[in-house]
Structure 1
Amino acid sequence: MTNWKNICNLTGYYTSPTLTLPLICDGALSSITWSQTLGQGDKVVVQSKVSFDGYNWTEWRECVNGGSIPDISEDTYIANTKIVIRIIIDATDHVSPPLISNDITLYFEPVIVFNNKGDVKCKPEIWITKIDSGDFSLINTSRINDEFKFVNLVDQEVIYVNNEREDIQTSHAVTYRYKDFNDNYLNFPPGKNILRATGKAKIKFRYQFGLLQ
């Protein structure tokens, strides 16, 4: 329905082209941010919709500046996911219309989802192949950012950790890595554990879920 603001060109909207997220991951921490200048009574609404298969789309959902992107959660599998952004502007006059920056920033940080399907805590074995020298850590965001961390690793070094036995081995000759470890072994409670990785590495888990008899 046409109203007075439509006739006076005081309302309008812009829809972005379809964007494809260049990610393939278990899920991602996300955020959306923008800058805006509003007069009294002015309003700017930013919305998003998402498609996970390129055909079916979610409904338009309002975004919160600095908040996460609707429909994309930490455990939402992402593979060539598509997103569209829409901006709706509602002004009170033509003299000082609301302004929004040309750049809307979308941020994504891939995460690893370790779903412990057992009844008790899981202490997996893990192999870490370091890419570039430096530190590596896994941060369990589901467990008050519990951190498993090694420092001073060497490029292409392979670290093996048996978290059940608290045993650490390295492919780096004549080296012991206990002193470079924060002594916080992996210990995943039942359910989904959302893990952030810092530092470049290839990782592999081996585990068995425990069930109460």
Structure 2
Amino acid sequence: MRIGVVTFPGSLDDRDAARAVRAVDAEAVSLWHGDRDLKGVDAVILPGGFSYGDYLRCGAIARFAPVMDALVPAAQGGLPVLGICNGFQVLCEAHLLPGALVRNDDRRFTCVDQLLRVENASTAWTSDFVAGVEITIPLKNGEGGFVADEATLDALEGDGRVVVRYAGRNPNGSYRGIAGISNERGNIVGLMPHPEHAVETGYGPSTDGLRFFTSVLSKVVSA
């Protein structure tokens, strides 16, 4: 299986995402923000960082990168896409996911090992989990507060599209404790915490993040 990892100017977790892909014995394919095709990959990861310096808004410029011209229709057609942190922001800016990510309510950069509860274990990126399980993976952001209007929040809850939720403390003021969501089809997932930093024993608080990557491997192989 070939999983593309997009690098924007300012990306800083692209190598970690590629390492996580290799940890599940998949091939990590480098995609540059200026690429106009996806090189035939089976899935795509938009990694964390500060794409284009986070000028204007986080992810606002990355949304117009040439690679997104290929990614948006592919994602709408069913290609599995995972947006992590800044990648989540890019997905919202590209209108592949609803809502927006705003500055943390305490106006501070948060960097913690975060307890999460997996709410939806049926997406392309969470199918190797069991709904309700609690996991611990790193969280690091300054603009990680998920916001949306009440109608959108109700729809996300009602359709089961809240993928992961903060367990215990809500570290950035996200509405309803939402840490990650999916599209209706479940192939597109965005989350603020960083599963790629929790895939190997001794490096990170756990190996809980590994199952995000084994999930998509299983999903694509069985498709």
Fold shared, TM-score > 0.5 on shorter chain = no
Structure in which a larger fraction of residues adopt strand: 1
Higher-Rg structure is 1
Structure in which a larger fraction of residues adopt helix: 2
Q: Which bin holds the TM-score, normalised by the shorter protein?
A: under 0.3
